[in-house]
Structure 1
Amino acid sequence: MTTAVAFTSCSKDEESSSSKLQVKLMDAPGDFQSVFLAVQKIEVHLKEETNPDGWKLLPFQAQTINVLEYVNGRSALLVDTDFEPGDLKEIRLILGPDSYVIGKDGQRYDLKTPSGQSSGVKLKLEKAAVQERATFQLLLDFDVAKSIVERGSWRPGNDKKERYLLKPVIRVVAQDLRAGLRGTVTPAAARPQVLAIRSSVTVADTFSTAADAAGAYQLSGLPSGTYRVEFFPTVTAPTGQPAYKNVVKSNISVVNDQVTDLGSTSLTQ
């Protein structure tokens, strides 16, 4: 998991010493009609990991969220609250038992959460501190494709409640890292995955998404740098039509506060 944290500028009222904490949710598309997460509580940890008394409950109304509504640059504001300046060590989401997906077949499948995650989904924060007269924003980037795991033993006709496990994979980024990549892919029927690999650092960062039904994609919250962008069709072309192919674009420059538009990318020969 890649963690990035940063701060926005001070509020309009420069005389105020109030600080704010915001938590937002966005998603990388997955192969479902809908993905509903039952989020009960959101907490942050203010002390060392070994201190059980460091958790602070954030003002959040329990709700079931269709995360697939928040793709390609859209995000859901979950928390927006005044907050005392200080360090943040972790953020934790407490999920309820009522998460589920609607599959491509239109059927509902409950999402089972492994018992080991009953204490919540914990995400570590590196060098995160809320400053005075600043707004600190955490963007939770939920990866549907990696988070929903189909049981290998499940077969059509089995209990639908037993098909999928929920093992959340969430990347934490800062909302004021406004660099991004966007574009379109043709044909959209290729249903491509899109990887953006930051090659300008010693240990390459990899960020992923998928094009939507119209072939559009957007990756947000990227650190600046030089990227290699790879496009992978997830289906084969119909008989009689040109084959789909993998495409790689190299030396793509990504700059803070800008969204780099890669235009249209063709996946046919």
Structure 2
Amino acid sequence: MKTARLVFVAFVLFLATNCLFWACKKSSSERGSGHLRVMLTDDPAEYDAVYIDVQKVEVNVSSDSNTSSGWQTVNVLRPGVYNLLQFSNGIDTLLADADLPAGKLSQMRLILGDNNSVVVNGQNFPLKTPSAQQSGLKFNIHATLTAGIVYRLWIDFNAGRSIVTTGNGGYILKPVIRTYTEAIGGSIKGYALPGVAKPQVWATMGADSLLALPDSATGYYFFGGVAAGTWNLLINAGDTTYKDSTFTVTVSTGVVTNAGSVLLPKK
């Protein structure tokens, strides 16, 4: 009886260990990141030019409802001085471009350098930044980054309201900013089994053709950042003793489409 109990306990521990292993395996396979593109744009203003010295962008992304997990730096593609008035009336410029962990994007901080100025009637005046903003211009975002989805986020300056005249003829930068986001394309996820069939997954739509190699243990595959529309999926068996499978899925902007689990049959 004692031996039977020991065998039973060992069996339970074996199952628990394997369950944990497969859970971790699936989690690591499905873990992903969203792609964020930060765009800079501006409302028109009655100045000759408004120059801001953008050095760095920082974001606060959390995997859950707790948004106090800290700041992450998103490298600016071209650090330096930008004339805001060049990006009005629907014109924008790509400021930063990066992959970020999927989760809640709660806040963003724009770190400026010292070369900020405004040109009034042909004369250049330095733009002073209040001490409270010298650690960065912080504003709330409240967007959700989904793994495999590309997002564009616009930092929209209101240059006309962001510059305050001082009593001695100087100018202070007190930014008035709004932000808005747009999800671009969608994603496809699914499972292609069994692993011994050595499946490859092809996704095609028009001239676009993408290839994914499923995880050898779980069969999980993923196509990220694909255009919205109807995609043809071909699960091609590398082992010729198995049959291929074809079907279509419809991808929507900002959505991860679940293609389900496909078990390739024997010929």
Match of 1:154 in 2: 168
Match of 1:99 in 2: 116
Distance 2:33 2:131 in 1: 39
Distance 2:145 2:67 in 1: 21
From 123, 130, 152, the equivalent of 1:114 is 130
Say if 1:86 and 1:130, in contact at 8 Å, map to a contact too: yes
State the one-letter code of the partner of 2:154: L
From 76, 84, 90, the equivalent of 2:107 is 90
Gaps of 5+ in 1: 1-16, 156-162, 178-269
Gaps of 5+ in 2: 1-31, 185-267
| 1:2-57 deviation per Cα after TM superposition (whole angstroms, max 9, x unaligned) | xxxxxxxxxxxxxxx66311100100011111111001110001247884x51000
State the one-letter code of the partner of 2:123: Q
Return the structure number with greater relative CO, CA threshold 8 A, min gap 6: 1
Distance 2:148 2:67 in 1: 30
State the one-letter code of the partner of 1:32: Y
State the one-letter code of the partner of 1:169: V
From 72, 76, 82, the equivalent of 2:89 is 72
Distance 2:101 2:57 in 1: 17
Which structure has more strand as a fraction of its residues?
2
| 1:57-91 deviation per Cα after TM superposition (whole angstroms, max 9, x unaligned) | 00214211011000111101111222221111100
Query: 1:18/1:89 Cα in 2 relative to 1: closer, same or farther (>3 Å)?
Result: closer
Query: 1:94/1:107 Cα in 2 relative to 1: closer, same or farther (>3 Å)?
Result: same
- Give the TM-score of the pair, scaled to structure 2: 0.53
State the one-letter code of the partner of 2:134: S
Say if 2:61 and 2:67, in contact at 8 Å, map to a contact too: no
Distance 1:32 1:146 in 2: 12
Which structure has more helix as a fraction of its residues?
2
Query: 1:50/1:35 Cα in 2 relative to 1: closer, same or farther (>3 Å)?
Result: same
Distance 1:49 1:95 in 2: 27
% identity of equivalent residues: 37
From 81, 98, 117, the equivalent of 1:81 is 98
State the one-letter code of the partner of 1:115: S
Distance 1:74 1:176 in 2: 19
Query: 1:23/1:89 Cα in 2 relative to 1: closer, same or farther (>3 Å)?
Result: same
Distance 2:79 2:66 in 1: 25
Say if 1:49 and 1:89, in contact at 8 Å, map to a contact too: no
Q: How many residues align?
A: 153
Match of 1:180 in 2: none
**1:54-69 map, 5 Å:** 54-60=70-76, 61-69=78-86
Task: Look at both structures and tell me which one has the larger radius of gyration over its CA atoms.
Answer: 2
**1:217-256 map, 5 Å:** none
Query: 1:50/1:84 Cα in 2 relative to 1: closer, same or farther (>3 Å)?
Result: closer
State the one-letter code of the partner of 1:171: R
Distance 1:20 1:136 in 2: 6
State the one-letter code of the partner of 1:164: Y
Query: What is the alpha-carbon root mean square deviation over aligned residues?
Result: 2.6
Say if 1:37 and 1:95, in contact at 8 Å, map to a contact too: yes
- Give the TM-score of the pair, scaled to structure 1: 0.53
From 39, 42, 48, the equivalent of 1:27 is 42
Say if 1:150 and 1:165, in contact at 8 Å, map to a contact too: yes
